[in-house]
Amino acid sequence: MPRVLVTEPIDPAGVAILSQVAQVDQRHNLTAAELQACIGEYDGLLVRSATKVTQGLITAGHNLKIIGRAGVGVDNIDVPAATRQGIVVVNSPEGNTIAAAEQTVALMLALSRYIPQANQLVKAGEWNRKEFLGVEVYKKTLGIVGLGKIGSHVATIARAMGMRLLAYDPFISQERAEQLGCSLMELEVLFREADYITLHIPKTPDTTHLINRESFKKMKPTTRIINCARGGLIDEVALVDAIKAGRIAGAALDVFEQEPPAGSPLLLLGKEVVLTPHLGASTIEAQSNVATDVAEQIRDVLLGLPARSAVNIPGLSAEVLTRLKPYLELAELLGNLAGQLAGGRVETLGVRLQGELANNASQPVVIAAIKGLLGPALQERVNYVNAALEAKERGIRVVETRDESMRDYSGSLVITAQGSQGEHSVAGALLGTGELRITSIDGFPISVAPTRYMLITLHQDMPGIIGKIGSLLGSFNVNIASMQVGRKLIRGDSVMVLSIDDPLPDGVVSEVVQIQGIQDAYVVNL
Ligand SMILES: NC(=O)c1ccc[n+]([C@@H]2O[C@H](COP(=O)([O-])OP(=O)(O)OC[C@H]3O[C@@H](n4cnc5c(N)ncnc54)[C@H](O)[C@@H]3O)[C@@H](O)[C@H]2O)c1
Ligand SMILES: O=C(O)CC[C@@H](O)C(=O)O
């Protein structure tokens, strides 16, 4: 039974799902060294935001097939390292959207009305009403940075509270922003106009310290900032200075550059700041959603099924996968065959999708062809996660073309491998029964069911040549299961495909190419 390690508390619903297919170990307080020492025993790893899934941990996780993040942000996971190792990384892109948006609005109101500080004083027996004269959000301007799932929901709530909405998101259309009642604008303008600024973007090298010392200079002294997205989007030292200097009015933070923010000067500020310990996703509903979502994907991947929200492999719905699955097998087979015919180093892989395939999601088919090409060299180290990266790192150019008009089969594929020893192309299709057929080799039409061992020759079509090959193989005790010849012209160049029952013994090919009329011969093991 596969083993899954869960390193942070998750909803029991997730554990129940994982337990259907795996032995689940919940070990929540492992140090980095302890985690490193035990990760090699596990097929799956499930984390939230606190576990740092570093390159070192991934390398030590040599049995890992999947890493699940019970939440949205995968910035605590070295996704490129996982991809290189062929490990699927999944998250729950929508499970905690509402929770994070509601926490944002709660922080905005708490900050405006000093609720945490007032609560603390009342509990301490004080009754001080003058200290807590707040501000209303009604008719104030909210600047939303990042109008994705959470930013959009914040916009919907804020609009209902009577706020004017500005947004900065270079990847969102004007039309979408208008639907949400937001005016899209440049960040500098948003800084100048907003009374509240809320961040809903991922942390990337581009967004780190997006809000910095210069940004605060552009804001109004009444501006309040909310960060319920990721620590590090705001330069915290500059933020503390800006608040102390009265350059802005305050900040509410759920996330920090370092979590927990031990020793941070933020902790010494007064009622201008409200701080929560990364609680954006901490609702019963969100935790149930994300745990279920991610556990289901881990279960599926361990069962050999696709993951619906993989961040490093194209996600496929079960319906699309059922339709594409035979074509993925075909693409892998043809990629493998073309690579073996080309021999040597392949520089360009051509993938031509024809007929109904040309209208389909092509990326998985292309990846399958690459996987087939690299399979003989990399064996099980290449999979759907890392195939494209492996090709890129080897400098293999992948060229995809489409031809919807090709109707000889409902869908067919032509894979061309061009490299140091020349170029070979193979085509294939599915029969109505779903069986795979190789339908041409180097443009010579054939119809061959692929088998494990094959001998393929390029030769001159002439009387007696088939007999000579048959006798030669017989003399090596090789049993021929089937044989087919494809030619364009009588007595012209032709291709012959022999399916054989066992691997071809050493030395056969060098004798085959001695036969008069044989131009080349290839041993293919699929
Ligand atoms: N505090 C929490 O517990 C908590 C919970 C959930 C999500 N989050 C975080 O909230 C953030 C947003 O999550 P989401 O689900 O809305 O993500 P999302 O992918 O739906 O939206 C992100 C948006 O940011 C935009 N964006 C990317 N780079 C940008 C840039 N440089 N400038 C402006 N916009 C940019 C994108 O176009 C996208 O619209 C993520 O960082 C996520 O990790 C935090
Ligand atoms: O695990 C959590 O509670 C935080 C999740 C949140 O940061 C996310 O990105 O989804």
Q: Which ligand is nearest to the CA of 99?
A: 1
The two structure tokens encoding residue 513: 């190419």
**Cβ contact 308:286 at 8 Å:** no
Could you tell me the distance, in angstroms and rounded to a whole number, from the CA of residue 162 to the centre of ligand 2? 29
When pLDDT is averaged across residues 123-128 and rounded to a whole number, the result is: 97
Q: What angle do CA 511, 513, 514 make, to 5 degrees?
A: 65
Structure tokens at 239: 């933020």
CATH number of 316-444: 3.30.1330.90
**Is the pLDDT at 360 greater than 80, yes or no?**
no
Mean pLDDT of the residues in the chain: 93
The residues, ordered by sequence, that sit 6+ positions from 289 with a Cβ below 8 Å of its Cβ are: 92, 94, 95, 96
Note the pLDDT of residue 411.
74
Name which residue leads in pLDDT, 462 or 318: 462
- Residue 202 CA: which ligand 1 atom is closest? 41
Classify residue 390 by its DSSP letter: H
Using a 6 Å cutoff on CB, does residue 93 contact ligand 2? no
Cβ neighbourhood burial of 179 (10 Å; 0-12, 13-18, 19+) = exposed
Domain ranges of the chain: 3-94+286-312, 97-275, 316-444, 451-526
Instruction: Report the separation in Å between the CA atom of 98 and the middle of ligand 1, taken as the mean of its atom positions.
Output: 13
> Can you give the pLDDT at residue 501?
92
Residue 316's pLDDT is 60
* Strand partners for 168: 145
CATH class label, 97-275: alpha beta
**What ranges make up the beta strands (E) of 340-386?**
346-355
313-337, pLDDT tens digit by residue? Answer: 766 665 666 778 889 999 999 999 9
pLDDT tens-digit series, residues 222-232? 999 999 999 99
In this predicted structure, which of 53-57, 72-76, 302-306, 460-464 has the lowest mean pLDDT? 302-306
Tell me which ligand sits closest to the C-alpha of residue 47: 2
451-526, which class in CATH? alpha beta
pLDDT class of 359 with cuts at 50, 70, 90:
confident
Q: E strands, 404-503, where?
A: 411-419, 422-430, 436-441, 444-448, 453-460, 480-487, 493-500
> At 463, is the secondary structure helix, strand, or coil?
coil
In eight-state DSSP terms, residue 94 is S
Atom of ligand 2 nearest to the CA of 71: 10
Instruction: State the pLDDT at residue 393.
Output: 81
**pLDDT above 80 for 381:** no
Helix (H, G, I), strand (E, B) or coil at 395: coil
pLDDT computed for residue 240 by the predictor? 98
Q: What is the pLDDT of residue 315?
A: 60
Atom of ligand 1 nearest to the CA of 73: 43
Residue type, position 444, single letter: F
Query: Ligand 2, from 278, 285, 293: best to mutate by most atoms within 8 Å of Cβ?
Result: 278
> What 3-state class would DSSP assign to 512?
helix
- Specify the CATH number for 3-94+286-312; select among 3.40.190.10, 3.40.50.300, 3.40.50.720, 2.160.10.10: 3.40.50.720
pLDDT number for residue 307: 85
CA of 260 to the centre of ligand 2 (A): 14
Of 358, 290, 272, give the one whose Cα is nearest residue 6.
290
What confidence category does residue 376 fall into, taking pLDDT thresholds of 50, 70 and 90? confident
**Collapsed DSSP state (helix, strand, coil) of residue 35:** helix
pLDDT tens track for 446-457: 999 999 999 999
User: Would you say 316 and 361 are in contact if contact means Cβ atoms under 8 Å apart?
Assistant: yes
Q: Is the pLDDT of residue 74 over 70?
A: yes
| Beta carbons of 454 and 497 less than 8 angstroms apart | yes
Written as six digits, the tokens of 33 are 């060294």
Query: For 126, which DSSP code?
Result: -
Two structure tokens written together for 276 = 């929560």
Q: 3-94+286-312 with 97-275: one CATH topology?
A: yes
**Cβ-proximal residues to 245 (8 Å cutoff; 6+ apart), any chain:** none
pLDDT of residue 410: 66
Show the CA angle centred on residue 272, arms to residues 227 and 182, nearest 5°. Answer: 40
ipTM: 0.99
Q: Which of 39-43, 291-295, 306-310, 406-410 has the lowest mean pLDDT?
A: 406-410
Q: Strand, helix or coil at 75? A: coil
Residues 6+ apart with CB under 8 A from 274: 107, 110, 111, 115, 116, 250, 251, 252, 253
As a whole number of angstroms, the distance between CA 9 and CA 146 comes to 29
- b/e map 433-454, b = 16+ CB within 10 Å: eeebbbbbbbebebebebbebb
Please, what's the largest Cα pairwise distance for the chain? 109
Residue 356 reports pLDDT greater than 90: no
**Pocket residues for ligand 1 (CB within 6 Å)?**
71-73, 96-97, 100, 145-151, 168-172, 200-202, 206-207, 228-230, 254-255, 278, 280-281
Per the DSSP assignment, residues forming a β-bridge with 274 are 252
Q: How would residue 490 be classed by pLDDT, with cut points 50, 70 and 90?
A: confident
Q: Catalytic site residues?
A: 230, 259, 278
pLDDT category of residue 172 using cuts at 50, 70 and 90: confident
- pLDDT above 90 as % of the chain: 78
The answer, yes or no, to whether residue 345 has pLDDT greater than 90, is: no
Give the pLDDT band (50/70/90) at residue 407: low
